[in-house]
Structure 1
């Protein structure tokens, strides 16, 4: 079975918005053992839409079309599909009634333009949208089924999970058993990881893939069929042996997710004091439901005065060592931990750039500390030639990994490869 995706919209094509739907879709389908083999992005032009629908319908077995089902004049997916099929648009009375009922229940008058959302190609199968005003639909054209979904992310994702995946499984025979393992890495680039793992002889039916979403590279180990699945443990052992400390989480989307899981299970508490990361540590953790069970406080102590008055950093420490130093960040971490007697505290202070660096402490110099009830771990890392955002996100990841390693009883300070360190 050959699966493809067509993404519609001028704002997507022009890069005005990031197409997160496409990345989510490909990843979700792979987890169900179905690989997306091609993706096409096309603007809101009727001729182009008709052309791409026809072209890809000769090549693919099923095509997910995302976007263009709204009530405005630039929403053209239904009209384009009808033209591609050579048939008329017909009002779907079931969906019209659903629209009228939705507006009535919400105490609103339905604009005339919304009636457009009930117009579907004559041979289309209506697909329910339980959370929006745009229904989806499926149409057979040439070799392919084209399955249309709205572009609103939460509507799209629900329809993929509840309708598209069952639709595919009902009509196509999915290749045998599949298994996917994912490893989150830190400190090595995609090409470096690929070169390092090239020595592994993969059995038939197994592939290694890479996904870059800085500050991480995700490694995907994908096995098709019982024989390949039976070899997963052996290949994973080789990967872990070769990469060592570069692997920082399994089957997690971020280190923050790993920390959240570990902290919830530990029953211990955490405070953070941030300077250069400016609230990234706190923000990433509190995005998870249940973080209140362990997260005591997040303090953004950006100025020297706030470091002194809020965290108790000694003025002489700042005078002698500066704000970006091991001495200062250790006192920040101890101060943050002591306020509420948290079990742990993380602290960051650095020069994110693009200005502010010196010969001794160039842009990309970041001090990070982890305070525990037994003592303090600290390091100063080098992140040269990185953007301001990447310096901050890498620093956040290293801080989280220090805490992760402490929670797991591992060495807290390790080498990550491309992340350098100042010697104390």
Structure 2
């Protein structure tokens, strides 16, 4: 089965908004063992939409069309599909009733423009949208089924697992057992990972791929068939042996999520005192429901005055060693932990750039500390030739990894192949 995706909208084409739907859809389908073969972005121009629907329907088996189902004049997906098939738009009475019921239930007056959302190509099969007013539908054209979904991410993320995936599994009899295993790595470049794993013998039915999602590289193992699935655990063990400390999580998209689950499972609490990361440590954790059970406080102590007055960093320490130093972050972490007697505290202070570096401490120099009830661990890392954002992301990930290793009873500080470290 050849799967493609067409994304519509001038705002997507022009880069005014980032198309997160396409990335999410491709990743979701990969988890089902189906790779998106092609993705095309088209603006809100009727003739362009008609052309691409006709052309791609000659090559794909299924095309997910995302966007263009709203009530405004620039929402043209249904009209373009009707023209591509040479048939009229007709009112879907079931969806019109759904619209009227929805507005009545919410005590709102339905605008006449909303009726446009009930107009579908004559041969279309309605596809339910359980959380929005945009009616989904599917149409067969030439070789392909074109499956239309709204551009609102919340609505799309309901319709793909509830409507789209069951449809293609039934239509194309995709009943082979599959399983995906994901290994998250830190401090390993994609080419470096490829070199290390190049001699690895993959069991029949298992494929290996890489996905860069900075600051991580994800290794994705996809197994088709019962025998391949049964061989996954042994294969994962071999990869752990080859990469060692480079693997930092399994089946988690980030260290923040891994740390979230570990802190909950172990019943430990955390505080953070951030300078160069500017709240990134805490903001990633509070994205997960339940983080209030362990996250006690997050302090962005950007100035030296804040480090002294809030965290108790000694002025002499700043004078002698500077804000970006092992000595300063150790006092920051210890001070943050002591404020509310949390089990752990993380601290960061660095030069994210693009300016502010010196010969002794160039841009990309970051000091990180982890305070526990029994002592403080600290390190200074080198992140040269990285963007300001990537310096902050990598620093946060290394800090998370220090705490993750401590929670698992491992050495908190390790060497990473692509992250330099100052000797203590």
TM-score range, shorter chain: over 0.9
The worse-fitting range, judged by mean Cα deviation, of 277-286 and 90-99 is: 90-99
Structure 2: tracts of 5 or more residues without a match: none
- Which residue is equivalent to 1:266? 266
- Indicate conservation of the 8 Å contact 2:169/2:175, yes or no: no
CA RMSD of aligned residues (A): 1.1
Q: Secondary structure at 1:39's aligned position in 2?
A: strand
Offset of residue 124 of structure 1: 0.5
Match for residue 165 of structure 1?
165
Shift of 1:301: 0.6
CA distance in 2, matches of 1:330, 1:353: 22
Aligned partner of 1:367 in structure 2 is 367
Deviation at 1:229, TM superposition (A): 2.0
1:147 maps to 147
**In structure 2, what is the Cα distance between the partners aligned to 1:372 and 1:65?**
51
CA distance in 1 between partners of 2:93 and 2:254 (Å): 45
Give secondary structure in 1 for the equivalent of 2:223. Answer: strand
Q: Give the 3-state SS of the residue equivalent to 2:310 in structure 1.
A: helix
Mapped to 2, the partners of 1:40 and 1:190 lie a distance apart of: 26
Q: How many residues were matched structurally?
A: 424
- Most deviating of 50-59 and 393-402: 50-59
Rounded to whole Å, the distance in 2 between the matches of 1:224 and 1:86 is 41
Q: Which residue of 1 aligns with 2:72?
A: 72
How do 1:46-85 residues align onto structure 2 when only pairs under 5 Å count?
A: 46-85=46-85
Please state how far the C-alpha of 1:233 moved relative to its aligned partner.
2.2
After TM superposition, the structure 1 = structure 2 runs for residues 5-20 of structure 1, keeping only pairs within 5 Å, are 5-20=5-20
Could you tell me which residue of structure 1 aligns to residue 135 of structure 2? 135
Residue 6 of structure 1 deviates from its aligned partner by 1.2
Whether the 8 Å contact between 1:34 and 1:174 is mirrored in structure 2 is no
Mapping of 1:404-415 within 5 angstroms? 404-415=404-415
Counterpart position of 2:187 = 187
- Cα distance in 2, alignment partners of residues 13 and 334 from structure 1: 49
Quick check: 197-206 or 128-137, which moved more? 197-206
Q: Does 1:235 align with 2:235?
A: yes
Instruction: State the TM-score, normalized to the length of structure 2.
Output: 0.98
Cα distance in 2 for residues equivalent to 1:199 and 1:217: 19
Number of the residue aligned with 1:210: 210
Tell me which residue corresponds to 1:338.
338
What pairs up with 1:313-352 in 2 under 5 angstroms? 313-352=313-352
Deviation at 1:135, TM superposition (A): 0.7
Aligned residue in 1 for 2:422: 422
Q: Distance in 2 between matches of 1:29 and 1:403?
A: 33
Are 2:257 and 1:257 aligned?
yes
Q: How far off its partner does 1:192 sit?
A: 2.0
Q: Could you say what secondary structure the match of 1:252 adopts? A: coil
The equivalent of 1:199 in structure 2 is 199
**Higher mean C-alpha displacement, 170-179 vs 16-25:** 170-179
Deviations 1:156-204 (A, max 9, x none): 1101111111111221111521111001111122222122211112233
Residue-by-residue CA offset, 1:101-136 (whole Å, 9 max, x unaligned): 222222222222111111100010111111111010
Contact 1:44 1:76 in 2 (8 A): yes
Residue-by-residue CA offset, 1:278-335 (whole Å, 9 max, x unaligned): 0001111111111111111111111101101100001100000000000000000000
C-alpha distance in 1, partners of 2:141/2:192? 43
Structure 1 residue 33 displacement after superposition: 2.5
- The separation in 2 between residues aligned to 1:126 and 1:394, in whole angstroms, is 46
Moved more, 330-339 or 231-240: 231-240
Higher alpha-carbon deviation: 324-333 or 47-56: 47-56
Residues 303-322 of structure 1 mapped to structure 2, 5 A cutoff: 303-322=303-322
- Aligned equivalents of 1:14 and 1:193: distance in 2? 35
Task: Give a deviation string over 1:71-112, Cα, whole Å, max 9, x none.
Answer: 111111101110111100001111112212222222222222
SS in 1 for 2:366: strand
Residue 222 of structure 1: CA displacement? 0.8
Counterpart of 1:284?
284
TM-score (norm 1): 0.98
Structure 1 residues without counterparts, runs of 5 or longer? none
Give the CA deviation at 1:143: 1.5
Question: C-alpha distance in 1, partners of 2:108/2:291?
Answer: 38
CA–CA distance in 1 between the matches of 2:280 and 2:200? 37
Residues 33 and 175 of structure 1 are in contact (CA less than 8 Å); yes or no, is this contact kept in structure 2? Answer: no
Cα distance in 1, alignment partners of residues 62 and 124 from structure 2: 15
